[in-house]
Structure 1
Amino acid sequence: MNVALKVLELLPWIDWAAIVVFFGGWSGYAWFARDRSLTRPSILGATNRVRSQWMLQTTYRAVRVLDGTVIQNLSTSPSFFASTTVLIIGGLLAVLGTSEKANELVRDLPFAASNNSSVLLFDLKVILLLVVFVYAFFRFTWSMRQYTFGALLVAAAPEAEQFEAQGLSREAFANKAGRMVGLAAETFNDGLRAYYFSFAAVGWFFSPVVFMVATAGVIYILFTREFRSEVLDVLNS
């Protein structure tokens, strides 16, 4: 009990409230987006249908070099972001080593709150960003591996004429392979979502109120892009 009270005393209550809003908004929106995509039109649902159609067409091709090339190209995005995230993590660790000097620069930011003067508080803000980008790194690297698994499924698929000769189901393969590539895309989307929320976390350097407002703004942007965008209209047309 005493330890918990000491931890709570490290930050003002409004900072704790901002942290709760941040993680609650992030996890809550992730759950909401996944649940809503099962019953409502969404970018995720629309692209998953396209992936299943793609894998169904794969079963009719005698040569699947095109499909392997597409999967390889798709995997370059998480690979790029994973490499970039490592550099960001290294930069944040370097900032932690020079907290006092960096904190002096932050205090000079326009509209920055006066409580930014605490070096401990500054370190906690940097650590929050580290947590966000470490999470993003793991999601990007896992997405890369899942694309590899998808490539293996395509490579192991029976020849086009064997589906009829052996009575194999094209739809079953398309659903399986499409789901694997879809999981890779979903995992990559988790990493991108972490990048979006990292911009909200930057708002904490100004004030906890800006932090909360930025979190709400990021959630609104993500919602409109995933459920109300023109891209979704095109995919569903």
Structure 2
Amino acid sequence: MSGIASWFDWFALLSLIVLWVGYTVFAYRKGQTTACLASVLALYRRDWMYRLLGRDNRIADASLLSSLRASVSFFASTSILVMAGLITGIAASEEAVGVLSTMPFVTTYTRELWELKVLVMLIIFVYTFFEFTWSLRLYNFTCVLMGSAPLMHDISGNKTEQKVFADKAGHILTLAANHFNYGLRAYYFALATLSWFIHPSIFIISTIMVVVILYRREFHSKVLDALSVSERE
């Protein structure tokens, strides 16, 4: 395998794996003790399910859930299309390498190296497909929970039953959102991987930039401040 890519290429690929996995673990642990988009929205989802119990007409809730499912379905379908394009790219390796070889600063100059990089991209989008489809199934499970939600007059005064339903349905919704987030995060890293076709150093820089962008958006964004204002007051 060492003849396929240089040590710098392998180092860049290792950097992607370490930064991706490292940030995922870091964001999960930090989110347990610090306000972030995931933790704050989890509270809103629980409140949403609690308020759903007070509505006899739940058409608006079903419409909102349908919108969430549609966005996940769109990305799942897009992942299939991207995978088809990448498989085509492997089949057209010689033509692709011929085009890249005419560009300055491009280090992807052999068929084997091209196929390796495309294969990495393909693995990433296979992962995104599994994340999006599981997220979609979790949203389907939430539909079942919402359909079985008791009416408020049936459990009026029973705060325990209300809380149990809201916690359960909100938790499933949060799991669905988390897996959608994992898939979307993979898209960001896949875009960074595109720069690997130019040069490994640009690939490493792009990956670091993705981590910085994700961190700022999840922990220090203006939307987080807006969502958290009610908790601080």
Give the TM-score taking structure 1 as reference length.
0.93
- CA–CA distance in 2 between the matches of 1:134 and 1:200? 16
**Residue 222 in 1 paired to residue 214 in 2?**
yes
- CA–CA distance in 2 between the matches of 1:166 and 1:209? 60
How has the CA–CA distance of structure 1 residues 20 and 167 changed in structure 2, closer, same or farther, with 3 Å as cutoff? closer
**Residue 181 in 1 paired to residue 206 in 2?**
no
State the AA in 2 paired with 1:56.
Answer: Y
Shift of 1:39: 0.5
Q: Detail structure 1 runs of 4+ shifted over 4 Å in the superposition.
A: 165-168
How has the CA–CA distance of structure 1 residues 161 and 18 changed in structure 2, closer, same or farther, with 3 Å as cutoff? same
* Counterpart contact for 1:144–1:184, Cα < 8 Å: yes
State the AA in 1 paired with 2:123.
Answer: V
**Residue 210 in 1 paired to residue 189 in 2?**
no
Aligned to 1:77: 71
Q: What is the CA deviation profile of residues 75-98 of structure 1, one whole-angstrom value per residue up to 9, with x for unaligned ones? A: 101100111111111011011101
Q: What is the CA deviation profile of residues 96-121 of structure 1, one whole-angstrom value per residue up to 9, with x for unaligned ones? A: 101000111122334313xx211100
Aligned to 1:3: none
Give the TM-score taking structure 2 as reference length.
0.94
Higher mean Cα deviation, 7-16 or 142-151? Answer: 7-16
- CA–CA distance in 1 between the matches of 2:199 and 2:117? 11
Name the Cα RMSD after superposition.
Answer: 1.3
- CA–CA distance in 1 between the matches of 2:98 and 2:206? 23
- CA–CA distance in 2 between the matches of 1:168 and 1:219? 41
State the AA in 2 paired with 1:91.
Answer: G
**Residue 162 in 1 paired to residue 154 in 2?**
yes
Aligned to 2:224: 232
Shift of 1:125: 0.5
How has the CA–CA distance of structure 1 residues 158 and 199 changed in structure 2, closer, same or farther, with 3 Å as cutoff? same
Aligned to 1:194: 186
What aligned pairs does 1:1-237 form with structure 2 within 5 A after superposition?
A: 7-113=1-107, 116-164=108-156, 169-237=161-229
Shift of 1:167: 6.8
- CA–CA distance in 2 between the matches of 1:165 and 1:158? 13
- CA–CA distance in 1 between the matches of 2:5 and 2:106? 17
- CA–CA distance in 2 between the matches of 1:166 and 1:222? 41
Q: Which runs of 5+ in 1 are unaligned?
A: 1-6
Q: What is the CA deviation profile of residues 5-32 of structure 1, one whole-angstrom value per residue up to 9, with x for unaligned ones? A: xx34432111111111001111111111
Identity of aligned residues (%): 38
Shift of 1:165: 6.8
Q: What is the CA deviation profile of residues 31-78 of structure 1, one whole-angstrom value per residue up to 9, with x for unaligned ones? A: 111111110110001111110110010111112222111111111011
Shift of 1:139: 0.6
How has the CA–CA distance of structure 1 residues 68 and 119 changed in structure 2, closer, same or farther, with 3 Å as cutoff? same
Q: What is the CA deviation profile of residues 165-196 of structure 1, one whole-angstrom value per residue up to 9, with x for unaligned ones? A: 76752111111100101111111001100100
- CA–CA distance in 1 between the matches of 2:48 and 2:74? 24
- CA–CA distance in 1 between the matches of 2:157 and 2:26? 44
State the AA in 1 paired with 2:161.
Answer: S
| Partner-residue secondary structure (3-state), 2:175 | helix
* Counterpart contact for 1:96–1:123, Cα < 8 Å: yes
- CA–CA distance in 1 between the matches of 2:103 and 2:181? 32
